[in-house]
Structure 1
Amino acid sequence: MTETRYDGLLLDHDGVIVTLCSHQVLRAAATDAFVDAGISNPSPDDVDAITIRVWEDDLCAVADRYGVDPDRLWQCREQRIEQTLRRETRAGRKVPYEDVTSLERVEVPTGIVSNNQTRIVEFVLREHGLYGYVETVRAREPTRESLREKKPESTYLEAAAADLDCSNPLYVGDSESDIVAGQRAGFDTVFLRRDHNATRHLEIEPTVEAESLSAVLELL
């Protein structure tokens, strides 16, 4: 029996396990969130600021411009995004990548680490029958405080590794923040290239690049 190099596998969710939702759809959800918070005509830049890759300072600055509580605005945003992603999943527009079935062959403990909301990740996994592939999910709670812990911070990666009782997991992501988070945690990293990031230039170097989850499995 050969010895396994890594004692765990950690995977990002959106863009690695399941397809991304269109930016246009997410932006519409963010616009609706402003309306829910009592803001009828937000600027396009402010809508963009709370659509994806949101930072707490930006959220607070936007809320301050409209005189609303940042926690209230964020709660509205999180609810609208959750509703949207549930709808997109049920409609078959947010689906697993074809190579996800290769995870059936993984022999080490496996977990999901995501900047998305935990309730969304868990819903998507259940809806597509993927929960059996993973032993833990570490993602955000729908609170403003959670923005301080999201990747590129290593908090969720370290928590997932602890859940799986592994000290040397391999982490697979599709963004530069994934690679930074993995390196901060001291883990080897795989930058997985999909259609949405096929030509993306990285300012930081992952341990390796791969074009499919099948290729990732060859590293374990």
Structure 2
Amino acid sequence: MSEYDAVLFDSDGILVEPPPAETQSTATRAAFHEVGIDEPARTHVQAIVDGVTVGELEEICTAYDLEPETFWEARERHDERSQLEEFERGVRGRYDDVSAIVDLPVDCGVVSNNHHSTIEFVLAYFDLERAFETYYGREMTIESLELKKPNAHYLERAIADLSAESVLYVGDSESDVVAATRAGLESAFVRRPHCRGTELEATPTYDLEDLHDVADLVRGDGRRRA
């Protein structure tokens, strides 16, 4: 029997392959072009791709005399479109081991820093809707930048939906581990190829190889703590 009432999963890097940095850079440059900036500074493009804060976004827009809301609307639209096109063209796909967690004996959910509408697309496109009782991505607003992980906001909303007390969060980044800790959850860090050698400052409850390990853990077949 599982010691968890529920399991929450990140999406990019856990359920599906993460978006390539160049794809995100191209989408960001397209957004700049749409609002009249043909040659944005490389450092500004990189800052947005790396996870811009509200303050950084406002400074970048001030440098080009742009309204932050206007630029951000364009950026989010181009970013989402580029992601959906990559899924549809087969450039990005679902990890094979996701099949190991679609029938877990506990309620499951998805919590991601990606757009809520993108997560909705992913679950439908890869036929994963039945595997998850709830899911959260962030809204396409500037305000959502302050609510994404490592903020525990969306994790807490998912926990409330599932009425769960003992919850495991599965992710592939430091911010996932920190967000889980802030939400009072145990965490599992999955070492996908893109994070195989990552050295974490925050310590996850479990350090695992793949989703088969997660499934074994949740079913009570294995317990490998970090």
TM-score bracket, shorter-length normalisation: over 0.9
Partner residue, 1:27: 25
1:8 and 1:78 map into 2 onto residues whose CA distance is 31
| Residue 166, structure 1, aligned to residue 147, structure 2 | no
Unaligned runs of 5+ in 1: none
Partner residue, 2:212: 214
Match of 1:78 among 76, 79, 100: 76
1:137 aligned partner, one-letter code? Y
Displacement of 1:124 after TM fit? 1.4
2:143 aligned partner, one-letter code? E
Displacement of 1:61 after TM fit? 0.9
Q: Structure 1: which 4+ aligned runs deviate by more than 2 Å?
A: none
Equivalent residue of 1:71, what SS? helix
Residue deviations 1:97-144, cap 9 Å, x none? 010001133011100000000001111111111111111111101000
Residues 21 and 93 of structure 1 are in contact (CA less than 8 Å); yes or no, is this contact kept in structure 2? no
Partner residue, 1:132: 130
Equivalent residue of 2:112, what SS? strand
2:169 aligned partner, one-letter code? Y
1:94 aligned partner, one-letter code? R
Match of 1:8 among 1, 6, 9: 6
Equivalent residue of 1:160, what SS? helix
| Residue 106, structure 1, aligned to residue 104, structure 2 | yes
Match of 1:193 among 187, 191, 194: 191
1:219 and 1:128 map into 2 onto residues whose CA distance is 24
Partner residue, 1:97: 95
2:102 and 2:8 map into 1 onto residues whose CA distance is 14
Match of 1:155 among 153, 156, 159: 153
Percent same amino acid among aligned pairs? 39
Partner residue, 2:56: 58
Residues 171 and 188 of structure 1 are in contact (CA less than 8 Å); yes or no, is this contact kept in structure 2? yes
Residues 182 and 189 of structure 1 are in contact (CA less than 8 Å); yes or no, is this contact kept in structure 2? yes
Provide the TM-score with structure 2 as the length reference. 0.94
Size of the alignment, in residue pairs?
Answer: 218
Equivalent residue of 2:49, what SS? coil
Equivalent residue of 1:189, what SS? strand
Displacement of 1:94 after TM fit? 1.6
2:115 and 2:102 map into 1 onto residues whose CA distance is 25
Match of 1:203 among 201, 204, 208: 201
2:102 and 2:154 map into 1 onto residues whose CA distance is 24
Displacement of 1:52 after TM fit? 3.6
Equivalent residue of 1:151, what SS? coil
1:102 and 1:150 map into 2 onto residues whose CA distance is 27
Provide the TM-score with structure 1 as the length reference. 0.97
Displacement of 1:20 after TM fit? 1.1
RMSD, aligned α-carbons: 0.9
Displacement of 1:64 after TM fit? 0.8
Partner residue, 2:40: 42
Equivalent residue of 1:166, what SS? coil
Residues 86 and 120 of structure 1 are in contact (CA less than 8 Å); yes or no, is this contact kept in structure 2? yes
Residues 50 and 77 of structure 1 are in contact (CA less than 8 Å); yes or no, is this contact kept in structure 2? no
